[in-house]
Chains A and B, each alone.
Chain A
């Protein structure tokens, strides 16, 4: 039946959403290229039959009730496929937006490729979209709100100074407020504002 492929796609989207919520790992599953192409093919067939039906109706002078019903149902099928495709795509683009906010804005801004290992999972258009959205975010941050780090942590600050432990060797890292020598398993007592970005990147662990 028409629309079955669409519900398969939506199920796939649902699964991806659940994956995102439970693990918090910002990884998108593969883009369902095959499935989407099949749906589009189906829509093509539907629109062809719709055209055929209109042509037929013009002959009979728009009187045939059965033909009209056929035409209407065909339209509904196209409509449903469109909905499924859009829902799938919207979910993925939401995940990409979240990803841009969580990762890409952080200190080395050009981390787009380094951060997103899963870029093979994205379709060509999605990669384009991700790049442009990251650009938009950067524009916004360098616009009126330069004083605030908009992509920074959303948990309210509670302690000014915190203990951090270094999880990964990173050599000497320059933060805006000074140089740290990050040797694995060493501990620091530092201002939270200085190390927030390093915590987000996974170099440090808050204690």
Chain B
């Protein structure tokens, strides 16, 4: 088959990152793309209200109306590209602060049966921002990293606990992030399919007896 067997039943981590990069995030641009109306009126440096260039993407309205030091929402991949060239700073999401993360950790510790409601892409976003936009975060990165790692480990422990309850019909995974689900998928699907097969064969046999 054209698709390598590794990709057939689950996403690769790169693909997860690709999906997450499509999510919007807020940035502080350091340059202006908004056509200047005043300049057009004066007929000075910018002779027409139409800019001479445009950024072409699928959804380019926010990109072509950037004003320096005014928050705008753009897709994460554009934000990272601009960040690499030093053309913007990324506004860290609400949950990526020490206090917020600590709250999540407390919640996780208190409620051993459920997961706290982090966004579905928290692991990937945290990892991307730590590596590429470390200077834009509100708190020192090493502390944030520590908290994220703590959260990850607590949740991993719970996932391990939850696997005890694998059955052939259903599984509830509220607030589990995409990356966490993705690494579980091959194992859980395999086991559940087998359980279902065994269960199905048993319930088929019973009416005959």
Give residues 4-53 of B contacting A (CB, 8 Å): 4-5, 7, 12, 14-15, 17-18
- Say whether B12 contacts A155, CB under 8 Å: yes
Question: Separation in Å of the B143 CB from the closest CB of chain A?
Answer: 27
Question: Separation in Å of the A44 CB from the closest CB of chain B?
Answer: 33
List, in ascending order, chain B residues with CB within 8 A of A160's CB.
81
CA distance A15 to B184 in the complex (A): 27
CA distance A27 to B15 in the complex (A): 27
- Say whether A97 contacts B14, CB under 8 Å: no
**Residue B201 is within 8 A (CB to CB) of chain A in the complex:** no
**Residue A32 is within 8 A (CB to CB) of chain B in the complex:** no
- Number of contacting residues on B, CB 8 A? 12
Interface string of A128-148 (1 = CB under 8 A from B): 000000000000000000000
**Residue A123 is within 8 A (CB to CB) of chain B in the complex:** no
Interface string of B77-88 (1 = CB under 8 A from A): 000010000000
Q: Which of A101, A155, A156, A158 contacts B2 (CB 8 A)?
A: A101
CA distance A154 to B15 in the complex (A): 9
Question: Separation in Å of the B85 CB from the closest CB of chain A?
Answer: 11
Question: Separation in Å of the A148 CB from the closest CB of chain B?
Answer: 13
Q: Which of B1, B4, B14 contacts A156 (CB 8 A)?
A: B14
Q: A154-B7, A160-B81 are in contact. Are A94 and B1 (CB under 8 A)?
A: yes
- Say whether A156 contacts B5, CB under 8 Å: no
**Residue A37 is within 8 A (CB to CB) of chain B in the complex:** no
Interface string of A155-178 (1 = CB under 8 A from B): 110101000000000000000000
- Say whether B1 contacts A97, CB under 8 Å: yes
Q: Which of A98, A150, A151, A158 contacts B4 (CB 8 A)?
A: A98
Most chain A C-beta atoms within 10 Å of own C-beta, residue among B2, B5, B15, B81: B2
Look across to chain B and name the residue whose beta carbon is closest to the beta carbon of A160.
Answer: B81
List, in ascending order, chain A residues with CB within 8 A of B14's CB.
155-156, 158
21 contacts between A and B (CB under 8 A): A21-B5, A94-B1, A97-B1, A97-B2, A98-B1, A98-B2, A98-B4, A151-B2, A154-B3, A154-B4, A154-B7, A155-B12, A155-B14, A156-B14, A156-B15, A156-B17, A156-B18, A158-B14, A158-B17, A158-B18, A160-B81
Binding site for B on A (CB under 8 A): 21, 94, 97-98, 101, 150-151, 154-156, 158, 160
- Other A-B contacts than A97-B1, A156-B17, A160-B81, 10 sampled, CB-CB below 8 A, are A21-B5, A150-B2, A151-B2, A154-B3, A154-B7, A155-B12, A155-B14, A156-B15, A158-B17, A158-B18
